[in-house]
Structure formats: structure tokens, C-alpha cells
Amino acid sequence: MRSASGAAGTGFTGYQTFVVAMLAFLQFSIILDFMVMSPLGAIVMPELGITPRQFGWAVSAYAFSAGLSGILAAGFADRFDRKRLLLFFYGGFVLGTAMCALAASYHWLLAARIVTGLFGGVIGSVVLAITTDLFPLEMRGRVMGYVQTAFAASQILGLPAGLYIANRWNWHAPFVAIVAVAAVAGLVIAVYMRPVTAHLTLRQEHSPWRHFIATLRHPDYTIAFAATAILATGGFMLMPFGSAFLVGNVGIDLAHIPTIYLATGIATVFAGPLIGRAADRIGKFRTFCFGSAVSVVMVAIWTHMGHTPLWLVVIVNILLFVGIFSRVIPSQALLTALPEPQRRGAFSAISSSLQQFSGGIAAVTAGALIVEEPGGYLRHFDWLGWIVIATTLLSVVLMYRIHKVVPEPAVR
């Protein structure tokens, strides 16, 4: 185990560096598949002739199917080599994304998002389990910081390229590009990643169902599951309608949307690793509180913007995502410290399912609350901001309780 995890508090070993890069690359393709739906919303809705409510269902279909598959996979998540599990679900994700590339109607797109979610929704939990198996707690902030830069990379490389490709050809083309990127990631995993099997030597319940129930009812995990569900609200509630809001409410030309995503992505690529280091050095809960404070302020500003100059929108968006990253990175690192090795897969799968279900409910709620007026203006978008602010404050309370259960190593 030492060769995989290295000494606590030291730099990454060569293999650790490879694993971090590989997981970040994998996350890039997964996140891009979800992220690209948001900016394409301004194109897909008029082209398919669908309403914001229908588009909200297209987004949430991924979340609900991902949540269901996570629950179904939880009982078996700790019974296989994590590498094999990762490859199985990643292959299904590629299949679902290919179906999106071929979608010719709203219902076809809806079915494709369901298939993609069934497989793609479990991958994040497997990545978390692998990260927890291979890295000690005092290094996980840095690991999460680097892995989460995949989110920013999807903005720098993926979203502007996706919008360009969609504008140049059609909205199907970005999904074709994602399939190509995902195929490369899958090949790298299959050839170079070592098996992750240490958890198989530990005692588990004989029945997958009992393993699932025992993990779900574990008293120390209840608050963690609640926190995970609450943390998902913001992204799923605001992001699916982000581009439509910027075009219809803020007055940004559709051609300038890639500029906003590009600038935000560049900033967060640098911010992610710094936030990860801060989480390891000054404490994960402290970093989370900082991110929550920034998020509350920026969500209030962002969701109440009227016609605003492009340069100011870029600044607001960057600060918003810095706040989001400063919550996601330390919270993920802290939550991974709760489960025992033989329950990490099940814990991560259940957490992922709750996150997806919560996100799906948030997306549907957003779609139901928002009313698109003639000209593309989204009425009630500010209501979403108040909901996100309330859930952000609640998440601080929940993460404080988790922080008390899992004392962090002495900060340096």
C-alpha cells in the first residue's frame, strides 16, 4: 500500500502523478458531457422546439438515471477490482454519449441522456473510492484540487470548442467529439492503470443487499449523505439555464458565451490546485467556509444581474466559480475520510446517487419555476438564487458536524 499511497505529507510519487492525471482526464470527459448541455440549451431548445421545462427534464433525466444506477451498484461496488468497475461503466457512458450524438428528436435525446446517466453517474463514485484507496487524508485536498481542474479544463477546451463546433455544424457534433475524447481516456485506463484490489481482502457482508443496507444505515454516514445531497443543488439549479440567462436577461450575445466560459476556465485551472493545497494546509472545513461565503455573495449578484458589460460578467462568473470550487474540493476531501475501506465503494455510490437525485430535483424545480418570455427573458431566475443561498448556508451546518466527526490532521 505504501508504494501506491506514498508517505503522508510528501509530494506525489511517479505513479501517483500518473493516477491523478488519468483521473482528471477521465473526469474531463464525464464533466464535459454534462457541462455541454448548459451552453447548448440556447441552441437545442429552439431547434427541437422544446420549452425550458422540457429542457430541464432532459438535464435531470441524466441525474435521475445516474441516481438509480448508483443505488443499484452500491451493494456490488466493493466486490470487484475498482479498475474493472471503472472500465465497465465508462464503456456504457461512451455508448450513451454516442446515442446523444445521433439524437434526432426530444424523446430520443431524453432516452440518450437516461442511458448516459445510468453508466456515467457511477463513475464519479468509483473515482472517489480509488482516490481514497490510494491517497491519505492529508494529501486528498491536493488530489481533489487537481482532479477538479477537469471541470475548468472542460470550460477552457470543451465548452468553447463545443459551442464553436455546434455553431459551425450542429448541436450533435460536440457529442461526437466527447466520444472521441472518452475513447482515449478508456484506452489509457485499460493499458496503464494497476488493479485496485486491497479492499477485497477485507471482511464484508455476504449479501450485496445487506452490504448496501448496512452502509446506508451507518450512523456516522447519515449527515454525510444529507450534506452530499444539499451540495448538488446549486450546480443543477443554475447551470442548465446559465447560457439562456446570459443571453436573454444579461444581454450577452450568444457568440460571446464561449469567451465567458474560456476566461472562467482559465482562472479556475489555476485556482483548483491552490484551493486543494489550502484545504490540506489550513484545513478543509475552513476552506469550505471561505468558499461558502464567496458563493453566497456571488450567487446573489449573478442571479440578479440585468444588462451588464461583458467584462463585468466575466469577473462575476470567475468569482462565482472560485467560490464553488472552494466548496467542492474540500468537502469531497473531507467526506472521503468517513467510510472504512471495505465500504468506500458503497458509500461513494450512495453519495453519488443522492447527489444525482438531488440535482435532478433541482433541475426540474428550476425548469418549473422559470418562465421564458418572448425575446428569451427568463422570469423568476432570481428565485433560484435565493434557494441556492439557503442550501449553501445549510451545507455549512452539515459540514461542521462532519468536521467534528473526522478531526483533520494538524495544519501546517
Pick from 232, 4, 44: nearest CA to 133? 4
Residue 408: what pLDDT?
63
Most confident listed range (116-125, 266-275, 394-403): 394-403
What value does the mean pLDDT of the chain take?
Answer: 80
> Could you give the angle at which helices 257-282 and 284-302 cross, rounded to 10 degrees?
160
Most confident listed range (96-110, 155-169, 297-311): 297-311
CB 161 within 8 A of CB 36: no
Residue 58: what pLDDT?
78
Residue 407: what pLDDT?
65
Mapping DSSP to helix (H, G, I), strand (E, B) and coil, where does residue 131 land?
Answer: helix
Region 260-273: mean pLDDT is 83
The per-residue pLDDT for range 69-104, each reduced to its tens digit, is 777 776 676 777 888 888 888 889 999 889 888 877
Number of alpha carbons in the 13 Å side-chain half-sphere of residue 202 = 16
pLDDT over 90, % of the chain: 10
pLDDT at residue 5 is higher than 50: no
Where would I find the H helices in 135-232? Answer: 137-153, 159-168, 173-192, 208-216, 222-231
In whole angstroms, what is the distance from residue 148 CA to residue 272 CA?
7
Mapping DSSP to helix (H, G, I), strand (E, B) and coil, where does residue 372 land?
Answer: strand
**Structural domains in the chain plus CATH codes:** 18-405 (1.20.1250.20)
The pLDDT-based confidence of 1 (bands split at 50, 70, 90) is: very low
CB 53 within 8 A of CB 257: no
C-alpha cell at 336: 472521503
Q: Which helix (H) or strand (E) holds 321?
A: helix 310-335
CB 33 within 8 A of CB 178: yes
The per-residue pLDDT for range 8-38, each reduced to its tens digit, is 445 778 888 888 888 888 877 777 777 677 6
C-alpha cell at 411: 495544519
pLDDT at residue 319 is higher than 90: yes
Lowest mean pLDDT among 1-5, 87-91, 292-296: 1-5
Lowest mean pLDDT among 62-76, 179-193, 321-335: 62-76
Q: Which helix (H) or strand (E) holds 244?
A: helix 242-248
Residue 293: what pLDDT?
95
pLDDT over 70, % of the chain: 89
CB 221 within 8 A of CB 136: no
Residue 226: what pLDDT?
86
Cell numbers 460578467: residue: 313
Strands (E), 215-291: none
The per-residue pLDDT for range 353-404, each reduced to its tens digit, is 787 778 778 877 887 888 877 777 888 888 988 999 999 999 999 999 888 8
Pick from 51, 65, 138: nearest CA to 96? 65
Region 176-190: mean pLDDT is 85
Within 8 A by CB and 6+ apart from 410, the residues are: none
Residue 392: what pLDDT?
92
In whole angstroms, what is the distance from residue 16 CA to residue 3 CA?
9
Q: What letter represents residue 315's amino acid? A: I
In whole angstroms, what is the distance from residue 248 CA to residue 42 CA?
9
